[in-house]
Every structure is written in C-alpha cells, then in structure tokens.
Amino acid sequence: MLVEKDKTDSDISVVEAVHIRSMEFEPFAFRINEHSLPELVTDYKPMTGKIGRPAKEPFDPYRDISEATHREALDMVFTNGSIKSYKNLIKALQDGYGKAGMKLNYNKAVALATFLRNKRMMVLENRAYTYKPDFYY
C-alpha cells in the first residue's frame, strides 16, 4: 500500500494499492480531525495518473542542445581532423561536449552521434567521421 499526501490538499492523505497479492481496493482518502483521529473523506475523487515521479522526457539533441553549443563542441571534437572509429567518435563527443558544458553518458553520446549523422552535421566518409561545419540547423 502507498500512503501519501494529496497533491492539491495537504490535510488529506490518500491510500492506494500498489503491490497487493490478494484483493485490490479503490483508493480512499482520510484526514485527521480535531480530536486527532483519522476521518474518512467521503467526497474524495482520486486523481488519475501514475504513482511516483513524473516520467522524464527522453534526451533529444535537437531540443536539449543549442546550435551554438553544437558548433562549439564539434569544433573541439574535430580539431585534429577526421575520427577513424565509432568508439573513438563516442569518446571524442563525450569529451568535446563536456568541455562545452554538456555532460553526456554513453547512451546520450550514441543518440547524439545518430542525430549528427542524420542532420549531416557529421558524415562517414572513407571509414572516418568528418565534421561538416556548413550544416543547416
């Protein structure tokens, strides 16, 4: 069972079944009355939604990173020219974007590499990744 304060009225506590083995029950609410006893809130309507924290939006390099940051980071990533392997590319993206203020874990770096190739900001030519600074954002 889960007992938590109501999001709209902090005097009300809501009880919900989360992981119940036998019989499920409808959520109900109670408040503590002036005699310090629990009292059922009869007109309570449970809010529909998921229990816990709201889901976080997935990482989107287009939305989460500005064009200026992309340009600054890619200039740092490709300062020595083309990058030969995908593994080296991912590491270089993490380093370059980190220096530009955007920390990336492995999964975000992979999503970023896909985005950069799809937007033709970076291309794979002759088994090496090359930066195209004249890209259209």
pTM exceeding 0.75? no
Instruction: Give the chain's mean pLDDT.
Output: 91
Share of the chain above pLDDT 70, in %: 96
44-53 per-position pLDDT tens digit? 876 666 667 7
* 92-110 mean pLDDT: 96
Mean of the pLDDT values across residues 49-72?
87
The token pair at 109 is 């770096």
Each residue's pLDDT tens digit, 124-135: 999 999 999 998
Asked whether the beta carbons of 93 and 112 are under 8 A apart, the reply is: yes
CATH of domain 61-131: 1.10.10
Kind of pairing between the strands at 122-125 and 38-40:
unpaired
